[in-house]
Amino acid sequence: MWPRIMVDDYILEIKDLKKSFGSFEALKGIDLKVNKGEIIGLLGPNGAGKTTTIKIIIGLLKADSGEINIFSENIISGLPGWIKEKIGVVFEESNLYHRLSAYDNLIFFARINNVKKAKVEELLKEYKLFDVRKKAVKNFSKGMKKRLMICRSLLAEPEILILDEATGGLDPISAEIIRKKISQLKNEGKTVLLSTHYLEEADRLCDRVAFINKGNLIALDKPSIFKDNLQQDFLELIFAYDPFSLNKKSLKRQLEVLLKKGEEFKIEEDNFYLKLFVEENLFKRLNQITDQYKLVDLKNREGDLQEVFKQINS
């Protein structure tokens, strides 16, 4: 038998991507390799450079320098038609024809892309929009519009799906429908690149997440690796205190001495909240508090990506 040669199966490769708007450097050299069939999350605060990266990938913006390869083809100077067809994009803002019905919106794009009517109906059913297909899009909720935008992006059966804030501003039910669909797309072998502010979403959906901040990709790994590297678990506790026998200032001073970097406290009218890392000296430290105040609630939370985000951005 011939030895198997292992080659990297990158569907998308970004090398040292830079982009400035005037004197402002929006991207300072982004490197990212996306494997075929994986879900990659771009995470970062507002203005980090996520949308700029996406716009360059799909040819809406031109990079100043760097390289992008899609299906091993260098596309930095323009996206060839055959690659364009293989990429579906959903932007944060709706780009639907609002006066047209859901059905007509899809039929319009289906004709341009040479897609059969049956595919339009199949997608409308799958995304629970079939019953409202004849309604004008202007009467749709944000979640319905987003689902329709996803249907549109899937019409030509793309191999790569790029979602910019697909669940941003949606009610929890609509967001959940979309998240389930994204997981399903992975099972169908599609590669998904999504930008999100929701860390739990990235944790649940993504094989790997890239943290982008101020135009730099500062960390890229599996969500579980980030979580393992965290100062693991922490405890959340709520204690009661008597505001008539102790003023807030003194309590604040006492808590500031007790807490370590990264731990938190919040003082309310007659109780205070503590978030402490589970570590060797935790109970010794806690003794100082439990002697004096009554514990009213306790939770044990596993460190999540929210924590990673805070640490990386601190």
Residues engaged in binding ligand ATP (CB under 6 A): 21, 24, 26, 44, 46-52
295 and 217 Cβ atoms separated by less than 8 Å: no
Residue closer to ligand ATP (CB basis): 115 or 192 = 192
277 versus 309: smaller Cβ distance to ligand ATP? 309
Nearer to ligand ATP, 51 or 167 (CB): 51
- The distance of closest approach from Cβ of residue 207 to ligand ATP in the complex, given in angstroms and rounded to an integer, is 21
Q: Least CB distance from residue 50 to ligand ATP, whole Å? A: 4
Give the shortest CB-41-to-ligand ATP separation in angstroms.
13
Give least dist CB 217 to ligand ATP, A.
Answer: 12
Q: How far is the CB of 24 from ligand ATP (least distance, A)?
A: 6
By beta-carbon proximity to ligand ATP, the closer residue of 37 and 168 is 168
Q: Which is nearer to ligand ATP, 46 or 187 (CB)?
A: 46
